[in-house]
Amino acid sequence: MASASCLSLLVVLVALASAASAQLSSTFYDTSCPRALATIKSAVTSAVNNEPRMGASLLRLHFHDCFVDGCDASVLLNDTATITGEQGAIPNRNSLRGFTVIDNIKAQVEAACNQTVSCADILAVAARDSVVALGGPSWTVLLGRRDSTTASKANAESDLPAPSFDLANLTQAFANKGLNVTDMVALSGGHTIGQAQCRFFRDHIYNDTNINSTLASSLQANCPRASGSGDATLAPLDATSPTAFDNAYFSNLVSQRGLLHSDQELFNGGGTDGTVRSFASSSSAFSSAFAAAMVKMGNISPKTGSQGQIRSTCSKVNGS
């Protein structure tokens, strides 16, 4: 190759590399921590084999991380004298789980590669590996997120969608994060696994009319109308196949079997009915939309380059 074209190739490569420096990349740890992905996968697989619901809990942790100031592991920070963390926020308190599993994965990854792999990336990979462990689709996780040095309880309360939301509220909450209605419906398919507490579905089973009445009665048996009793009693978000990552969540919605008010809002005569029907009738359409939307969600405001830090312990800022 002539040296002039060699030089111009180099210029192009350097330009590409610097343009990509603020981007995430699937190969981010290939040199710095080649064992990272296998270490995370094996820990997630064993945690999910031990307790299938853990796959749901780990998927939800990544969602609740990304929607609050981007995917930066802010959700993992404990309260301290100077940080009021997100774990005490209304959508998270006595609800989010999986912290011990993440701490255990982080310890194994640190043993392999000291202060190299971020907690935010561990959450993103663990979410994918959880979905795969429960029979769902796989996708390539982009990497290189750095961890926050702060958290925001207030932003967790303002930015995460609530189960009382109607379709317009849900659409707004996802649009605020750059996610459109197709992404929103696909990501809501995360509710094909996991459980919810009575306090989050009580209003839907007593006050809403868009729920199968046989299902409502049977849920009411373990979730009394009066708040304060049975608040934490669990029911599966997808009663058809609670631990399988499939598209039954969507066929449930078509037959008025959503557990949360917000779930059934996606199929209640509004603009998302068609997408719900299409995911109900095609598991491959759901799988590809879910995978694409997870990558999109994982790209929300990542900290890269010299922003943030790589925490040594996921529940605390380095040196604190």
Residues known to be catalytic: 64
Give φ, ψ of 165 to 5 degrees: -65, 145
- Find out whether 64 and 91 touch, Cβ atoms under 8 Å: yes
Q: Which is nearer to ligand HEM, 191 or 303 (CB)?
A: 191
Q: Is 238 annotated as a binding residue?
A: yes
CA nearest to 162, candidates 96, 62, 58, 92? 92
Minimum distance, C-beta of residue 182 to ligand HEM, in the bound complex (Å): 13
| 116, two tokens | 């190299």
303: CB partners within 8 A, 6+ apart: 70, 72, 120, 145, 146, 147, 148
Q: Which of 144, 161, 302, 308 binds ligand HEM (CB under 6 A)?
A: 161
- Find out whether 198 and 206 touch, Cβ atoms under 8 Å: no
Q: Which does 183 bind (CB under 5 to 8 A by kind): ligand NAG, ligand HEM, none?
A: ligand NAG
82 lies in the binding site for ligand NAG (CB under 6 A):
no
Considering only 36-44, 54-62, 108-116, 271-279, which stretch makes contact with ligand HEM by CB under 6 A? 54-62
Residue 219 CB burial class (10 angstroms; 0-12, 13-18, ≥19)? buried
Q: Is 69 annotated as a binding residue?
A: no
Q: Is 91 annotated as a binding residue?
A: no
190 lies in the binding site for ligand HEM (CB under 6 A):
yes
| Spatial separation of the C-alpha atoms in residues 151 and 65, rounded to whole Å | 10
Minimum distance, C-beta of residue 111 to ligand NAG, in the bound complex (Å): 8
| Spatial separation of the C-alpha atoms in residues 135 and 186, rounded to whole Å | 16
Q: Which of 113, 181, 254, 295 binds ligand NAG (CB under 6 A)?
A: 181
214 lies in the binding site for ligand NAG (CB under 6 A):
yes
112 lies in the binding site for ligand NAG (CB under 6 A):
no
CA nearest to 146, candidates 320, 283, 297, 301? 301
Q: By the criterion CB under 6 A, which residues form the site for ligand NAG?
A: 78, 114-115, 166, 168-169, 172, 180-183, 202-203, 206-207, 212, 214, 225, 296, 313, 315-316
Residues in the annotated binding site for Ca(2+): 65, 68, 70, 72, 74, 86, 192, 238, 246
